[in-house]
Structure 1
Amino acid sequence: MTDSVKDKVIRIIAEQAMLEPSDIEMTQSLQDIGIDSLGLVESIFAIEEEFDIQVPFNANEPEASEFDISSVAAIVGAVEGLVAAQKS
């Protein structure tokens, strides 16, 4: 069985935070998990590579980005939207 977008995103975030995927909760922010700004950028690159998508993200101004990074759930939702848009 193939992993869902959610499972893949959680796996990428967990790897970046050096945690197990089971330790990641959808309501957590990346700061809660211990991911700093460099880790965020590395996570975005890993997500882009995993899903073959372009994330509209400005690492210098994450609050000004269209890509919501406020929580794990928001990141999963944003990636799901980009993946769906790519398929259409």
Structure 2
Amino acid sequence: MTETVRDRVLAIIAEQAVLEVGDVTPELTLEDLGIDSLGLVESIFAIEEAFDIQVPFNANDPASSEFDISSVGAIIAAVEKLVKDQKG
């Protein structure tokens, strides 16, 4: 069985939150999971490395970034779009 973008993003976020993957659901926010700003940056780096993509995220001003981090589901959707756009 191939691992989907969703599965990989959930695994990365779960690792940052030191939780089981099953405890991470799309409706949760990173704050809900106890992921702070450093954990967010580490998650972004891990996502970039896992998918070989560039995430349009400004750690100094997350609110102005094009990358939606409002929830786990939003992050999954944004990564899926970046991966799809990269493959053209």
Shorter-chain TM-score tier: over 0.9
CA deviation string 1:15-34 (max 9, x = no partner): 00000000001100000000
CA deviation string 1:47-76 (max 9, x = no partner): 000000000000011111000000000000
**TM, length-normalised to structure 2:** 0.99
Structure 1 segments unaligned to the other structure (5+ residues): none
**TM, length-normalised to structure 1:** 0.99
1:78 matches 2:78: yes
Structure 2 segments unaligned to the other structure (5+ residues): none
Aligned length: 88
Once residues 51 and 38 of structure 1 are traced to their aligned partners in structure 2, the CA distance between those partners, rounded to angstroms, is 20
Identity %: 68
> Who is 1:36 aligned against?
36
Tell me the C-alpha RMSD between the 2 structures: 0.4
Once superposed, which parts of structure 1, at least 4 consecutive aligned residues long, lie more than 3 Å away?
none
Once residues 17 and 32 of structure 2 are traced to their aligned partners in structure 1, the CA distance between those partners, rounded to angstroms, is 10
